[in-house]
Amino acid sequence: MRTHSLLFIISCILGCSAEFYVIDDRVGLGREFDGIGGLSGGGATSRLLVNYEEPYRSQILDFLFKVFTCASLHILKVEIGGDAQTTDGTEPSHMHSKDEANFFRGYEWWLMREAKKRNPNIKLIGLPWAFPRWVGEGTQWPYFFPNVTADYVVTWIYGAKQHHNLDIDYIGIWNENKYDPVYIKVLRDTLDSVGYTNVGIIAADGDWSIAAAMLENPYLNDAVEVIGVHYPGTKTVEEALLTEKKLWSSEDYSTFNDDIGAGCWARILNQNNVNGRMTSTISWNLIASYYENLSFGGDGLMTAKEPWSGHYLVESPIWMTAHTTQFTQPGWFYLQTVGNLAHGGSYVALIDRQGNLTIVIETMTHNHSQCIRPPLPHFDVSPQKATFQLKGSFAHLTDLQVWYSKLDFETKKDALFQRSSPVKVYNGSFTLRLDVDEVYTITTVNTGQRGSYPEPPKSRPFPKNYSDDFTVDNPPFSEAPYFADQTGVFEYFRNSTDNGSHAFTLWQNIHFAEMADLDVSCAVLIETPITGGVFLAARVDQGGESVREAKGVFYWIYANGTYKVTNDIGGQRVLAEGLSGTREGVWYTLTLSVKGYFAMGLLNGYPLWKNAVVLEPKNSWAALGTLSFEYAQFDHFEVNAE
């Protein structure tokens, strides 16, 4: 009996009858397709990209944004910096206070401009993850004064247009936080009052709960153009469908960019529509361009974390993206005849109503397509034959272009976004033999191309000897190269009161390169009397969301004339302390030397403390920072490692 069963399975795989799937535009169109995108922010996930030298930086940008090449993204979503830690670092606000504005801080403006160069039609979205404290008038709650918050956000949109010629298409509320209907209405009114009637509001970048509120509140319903949810697991809710609004997975994926991550991405790009009627999916994050040991290291559609070497990696999720983005555009429509395959997997069909048809098929298996979140219920996928019957406007087609990918988890020899021979259509139908963990694009569009560049430079560690005196008269970006703000924000500063060696400084916890035994030194200036303080650190083992739990060797000096050496950033594990004679307004040079289990510190070249015992961590980042986000200046930074 077992033998007969086995023979039947083999014969079915090789030649059993195919399941039939009808592609027909006569039954009506589904929802309008809004595009596939990537998210830079939440936070500081593109930080290292700006420091790549040419031509490698442009090559990376081409892989992400260039039309009809590689990922060819339709949407770029960026963080509106709020001067606060938001996952992998801090992004600066365009308004540190209510009395000033600077639309050249950070790198998101630059990234949006570069994306527009490569795809003039790319849609741009801004979303706050955090707000400067002044926005809530010291309450840390931006909804207490909705007019202030709305003005702050609209000022960012204004800056994008006036200073960078960027039209923002959509604006969000507050990432993964409570929404406030009053604020949303005030934001809509504020946008309209200054002529930004075409800027749509996405809400609430969390769960689906706002949908029920929109059904009950017509003013809220009118103000919101798109219901955006995070990590929906390809499912929607009835209330969201009843609003008849655009439904987006406005943040999704969040998975390591190996082949399982590629399987996750390929599956949800189809199934967010098939199961949830969502018409856009946006990847967090766009590119893994931050230090890998930070939170979610290695997420992103590709990897670019070594600007000092020029090395980058085009990962398999890039090619899963291309299967949809190169053969569709926002404004196309899903057909109603989309769905799940009989033996696992899914297919979608989209048309441009001008004669073009694109069908994307995926057969990702459960264990090879799990996203980090949410948990994935069990399902089975097996090899199968599928016959697609073309009806309506497409019954006359005789051949279609084919692009193919196979994530081969057994041989590790993937086939990624390869062009195959056109498929012949006989009497309006064609048949495919589908194996597991495959993606097919079957299309009338013939402009697809893989795109390629010469191999980038080889990977190499961060230089053991590095220094920066921050002497840049007109810096192209506000942050110094390779420094990555973790709490608070730092930027280049022109010290107009000093015409000497400290005329150019770094102003205002910064993470750096991973090292073990090292000497690190920096000139520091405390600006706050009595309560001010700064630190220089080595072997800092935590960053990102966990920075407040960081351990390491922290060498502090204070404006009250004392110093302290601690094994943690919170200052609880004291290794040494005493008098330093330090005060505000004076430049001091701190030198921290860590060798094996011992550390020592110099002040202006003279020993201040020594033989502090450091049992852990064994190695990690060098860092510098302030006591409590107050103003301070840093100059002549230098690190030498063994």
Residues tagged active-site = 176, 251
Identity (one letter) of the amino acid at 352? D
β-pair partners for 93: none
Alpha carbon distance 485, 248 (integer Å): 31
Length of the chain: 642
**Alpha-carbon distances, residue 28 vs 338, 378, 392, 453 (angstroms):** 12, 33, 10, 42
Question: Which residue in 327, 524, 585 sits closest to 440, CA to CA?
Answer: 327
Taking a C-beta distance cutoff of 8 angstroms, is the pair 323, 281 a contact?
no
Under 8 Å CB-to-CB from 530, ≥6 apart: which residues? 559, 560, 584
Which residues make Cβ contacts (< 8 Å) with residue 354, sequence separation at least 6?
Answer: none
Q: Convert 496-515 into a string of H (helix), E (strand) and C (coil).
A: CCCCCCCCEEEECCEEEEEE
Q: Which residues contact 293 (CB under 8 A, 6 or more apart)?
A: 514, 543, 620
Q: How far apart are CA 544 and CA 534, in angstroms?
A: 20
Residue appearing with tokens 């049992």: 615
HEC-encoded secondary structure of 96-155: CCCCCCCCCCCCHHHHHHHHHHHCCCCEEEEEECCCCHHHHCCCCCCCCCHHHHHHHHHH
Q: Within 10 A of 221 (CB to CB), how many other CB atoms are there?
A: 17
Three-state DSSP at 537 gives strand
- What element of type H or E holds 181? helix 181-193
| DSSP assignment of 203-239 | EEEE-STHHHHHHH-HHHHHH-SEEEEE--TT---HH
Q: Which two tokens stand for residue 392?
A: 């309506």
Q: 3-state class of 517 per DSSP?
A: coil
Q: Is 480 in a helix, a strand, or coil?
A: coil
- Rounded CA-CA distance 629/100 in Å is 18
* Encoded tokens for 223: 């103000």
The three-class DSSP label of residue 572 is: coil
Nearest to 577 by CA among 591, 567, 589, 586: 567
**Alpha carbon distance 608, 42 (integer Å):** 40
Q: Which residue is it, tokens 């801004």? A: 126
Helix (H, G, I), strand (E, B) or coil at 343: coil
Nearest-Å Rg of the Cα atoms of the chain is: 27
Task: Give the H or E element holding residue 228.
Answer: strand 226-230
